[in-house]
Amino acid sequence: MEVVIAPPGELARLAADAVEGLVRANPEAVLGLATGSSPLAVYDELVRRHEAGLSFARARAFMLDEYVGLPADHPERYRNVIDKEFASRVDLAPGAVQGPDGLAADLPAACAAYEQAIADAGGVDLQILGIGTDGHIAFNEPGSSLASRTRIKTLTKQTREDNARFFGGSVDDVPRHCLTQGLATIMSARHLVLLASGRTKAEAVHQLVEGPVSAMWPATIMQLHPHATVLVDDAAASRLQLADYYRQTYAEKPDWQGL
Ligand code: GLP
């Protein structure tokens, strides 16, 4: 696991560098897209690079998760958020972005179909991730099976309170259930790039990087991934025991070595 502690602008550039390098090397790359505020600066940076010539025309993308039951035109439906924040601002082909269907009549069947769609695409090359204050990735709340696949989950009170800001501050308007890629689904991606900023993420980041691997802090499963990159600002890094070593490692990183 590589941990980079840097100002937010640099973190977004580094994540965008990884995506750009991948898409230039393989224009048909499969991207994993995350919602939440953490990846927004990365999407903005990728849009700037698209305007400067980077094309996503042959790429495909899979989303991490989706609320159950939000109407198709609801602005906070993750499908609509990803369209607004990224897909509609670049040249991804129509239908190139897929997400779990939170409006399906048969939700377990929709989850199984989603797993199959990811497999049929050859898997995700680079998965962008944020992290919840309780250590969830996608919507894999504490207690999630470390071997889980896409399924229905019940959101914790904490997550619904954290996400109420997107629903006019009303916790009651935040859906109670979601469909989410499982931890094993996420672990199947070939490169994981997680971004976190702010003091509210400090404990989750400490557990993710330095805690014991445990379903209580689902993101800790990333310690078992052969290519995981954790990009954090000073505040999110404030509880890391080995912060000085991570800073030294990044400062002494050879120029030729990307993320
Ligand atoms: C939601 C999303 C996660 C995201 C998390 C953190 O719960 N399902 O994918 O990582 O929020 O969001 P933020 O980046 O806004 O803190």
Q: Where are the beta strands (DSSP E) in 149-211?
A: 151-154, 177-180, 191-196
User: 3-state SS of 46-114?
Assistant: HHHHHHCCCCCCCCEEEECEEECCCCCCCCCCHHHHHHHHCHHHCCCCCCCEECCCCCCCCHHHHHHHH
Residues whose CB is less than 8 angstroms from the CB of residue 84 and which lie 6 or more positions away in sequence, other chains included: 75
CA distance to 38, 118, 244, per residue, from 4 (Å): 15, 29, 11
Residue 88 clears pLDDT 90, i.e. is over it: yes
36 CA from centroid of ligand 1 (Å): 4
* Closest C-alpha to 97, from 128, 62, 46: 62
- The protein residue whose alpha carbon is closest to atom 11 in ligand 1 is 36
**Per-residue pLDDT averaged across 197-212, rounded?**
98
SS3 state of residue 42? helix
How many Cα atoms are found within 13 Å in the side-chain-facing hemisphere of 157? Answer: 0
Residue 181 clears pLDDT 90, i.e. is over it: yes
35 CA from centroid of ligand 1 (Å): 6
CA–CA separation, 259 and 10 (whole Å): 13
End-to-end CA distance of the chain: 10
Contact (CB, 8 A) for 197 and 38: yes
Residue 256 clears pLDDT 90, i.e. is over it: no
- Assess whether 2 carries a catalytic annotation: no
Query: Using a 6 Å cutoff on CB, does residue 188 contact ligand 1?
Result: no
CA–CA separation, 196 and 133 (whole Å): 10
Which tens digits make up the pLDDT trace of 208-243?
Answer: 999 999 999 999 999 999 999 999 999 999 999 999
SS3 state of residue 201? helix
* Closest C-alpha to 101, from 31, 60, 166, 152: 152
- The protein residue whose alpha carbon is closest to atom 5 in ligand 1 is 132
Contact (CB, 8 A) for 137 and 228: no
| pLDDT grade for 257, boundaries at 50, 70 and 90 | confident
- Assess whether 134 carries a catalytic annotation: yes
| pLDDT grade for 255, boundaries at 50, 70 and 90 | confident
Closest-lying ligand 1 atom to the alpha carbon of residue 195? 14
Residue 50 clears pLDDT 90, i.e. is over it: yes
Query: Using a 6 Å cutoff on CB, does residue 115 contact ligand 1?
Result: no
- Measured over the CA atoms of residue 100, residue 143, residue 42 and residue 161, the dihedral's sign is positive
Query: Using a 6 Å cutoff on CB, does residue 139 contact ligand 1?
Result: yes
Residue 100 is predicted with a pLDDT of 98
Residue 127 is predicted with a pLDDT of 99
Average pLDDT value for the chain:
97
Query: Using a 6 Å cutoff on CB, does residue 35 contact ligand 1?
Result: yes
- The protein residue whose alpha carbon is closest to atom 1 in ligand 1 is 36
**Per-residue pLDDT averaged across 138-155, rounded?**
98
